[in-house]
Amino acid sequence: MLTEIAFQHDCSDARIADWLEQRLTHELDRREGTVAITVPGGSTPFPILADLATRDIDWTRLEIWPGDDRCVPADHDASNYGRLARTLEGTGAKVVPLEEDAQPPHFALAWLGMGGDGHIASLFPNTDPRLDDPAQVRRLTPDPLPPEAPFDRVTMTLPKLLSAEALMFVIRGADKLAVFEAAAKGENELPIARLLGAARGEVTCFA
């Protein structure tokens, strides 16, 4: 593989929450001030985050951003920010909406998902994401629009995601894992392959 990836083969929600608890505690211990991370949307992260929200972490020093979002109001069912804020309500964490003119901070960790078509965040194949994109955040229109969420998106770009100190993925299902592994070997030009091919920091994949 072109990218050195640490595969974790227990991808239960509890195991991933354990890993995140340990990682966040480590990051909080080794630096002062706020620790920022970015997390994905979709169905996978929210049970994990709900478990994590019960853990004894200094949430008041955590700043959490969605890596992408649908262009809908925060109270819309399709809003990643809205769901994230509700899931972490009461923890004391600062949950920040991702907007087109946002200036995201430096991230200690970028947690990403991947679609079956190889998209990450809302960087779908049709959007031709570039490693030299000068922007940190872009508004994009997936084509085709996913029927379950037919909305324009706002998303962090490849350079912004790659600037995180570490990348983490949760990949579930044999078909998705095959796409991910092929991308890591440089066997396609999908958005996930562009990201992994340029990654130079730590990459962890729960699969």
Q: What is the token pair recorded at 15?
A: 């195991």
Separation between Cα atoms, residue 137 and residue 60, nearest integer Å: 25
Give the pLDDT confidence of 151-195 residue by residue, as tens digits: 999 999 999 999 999 999 999 999 999 999 999 999 999 999 999
Q: What is the pTM of this model?
A: 0.95
For residue 151, the model assigns a pLDDT of 95
For residue 115, the model assigns a pLDDT of 93
For residue 177, the model assigns a pLDDT of 95
Half-sphere exposure of 46 (CA within 13 A, CB side): 13
For residue 2, the model assigns a pLDDT of 59
Low-confidence ranges of the chain (pLDDT < 70): 1-3
Separation between Cα atoms, residue 191 and residue 141, nearest integer Å: 15
Write down all domains in the chain, each with its CATH number in brackets: 6-206 (3.40.50.1360)
For residue 194, the model assigns a pLDDT of 97
Q: In what order do the strands lie in the sheet with 6-8?
A: 6-8, 202-206, 166-170, 109-112, 35-39, 62-66, 94-95
